[in-house]
Amino acid sequence: MSITAKPTPGKLLLTPKDHALIMIDFQSQMSFATHSIDAITLRNNAGLVARAAASFKVPTILTTVAEKSFSGPMFAEVTDPFPGQGLLDRTSMNTWEDAAVIKQVNAIGKERLVLAGLWTSVCIVGPTLSAIEQGFEVYVIADACGDVSAEAHDRAMDRMVQAGARPMTAVQYLLELQRDWARSETYESTTGIAKLYGGSYGLGLIYAKTMFHAQGG
């Protein structure tokens, strides 16, 4: 039996309307002990994810742990794209055990979740395994997470993938939401985010635009 190809995207690809993003504990105290990724790259990738979500109007939950008593403020790179949005502060290390967060998850009503935050082995593993057990699909943005060591981060990613989580990267998240350069309504925003936060890829866009007036990725 032959298979006929169709010009349609696979169902496992993310779209702006099919998921909610949860950004967890991007806070000063949590970042001090993070060594699996350097602080500059971490802040850059977190900012890219936040701006991508804001640009595509992805429903986003921002949550902190012990903000005033211990962990400190959330990165401005994460909060600035969502002006006026409140932060859900928790006492629990596992975001999924916080009633206020779960209330927001249920209010949004998406069965597909994307997670990023600190630390991978605690504050990302906890909600990921909990949500998967309850029937949610979970994607984890690996390079917008960090841990006390590369080993801790890698083993946490392994554990989540073994449980069914789907790993991805920050730039992948941005480009998967855009997915077609003919989508003119988000073209400038997407390339603008890539130019600011996309590293060498962003520099390539700036170069191509300046030298050849090129469009697209």
Specify whether 145 is catalytic.
no
How far is CA 1 from its chain centroid?
Answer: 40
CA distances from 139 to 10, 17, 71, 163 (A): 15, 15, 25, 11
Distance CA 175, CA 97 (A): 32
CB neighbours (10 Å) of residue 27? 22
Token reading at 158: 């392994």
Q: Show Cβ contacts of residue 204 under 8 Å, excluding neighbours closer than 6 positions.
A: none
Roughly what angle, to the nearest 10 degrees, separates helices 184-197 and 199-212? 120
Annotated active-site residue in 20, 105, 123, 171:
123
Helices (H), 7-149: 28-32, 39-55, 76-79, 99-108, 125-133
Q: What are phi and psi of 84, to 5 degrees?
A: 85, -10
Residue 34 DSSP class? -
Longest dimension (CA), the chain: 64
- How many residues are recorded in the chain? 217
CA distances from 193 to 81, 86, 129, 190 (A): 11, 23, 31, 5
Catalytic residue ranges: 123
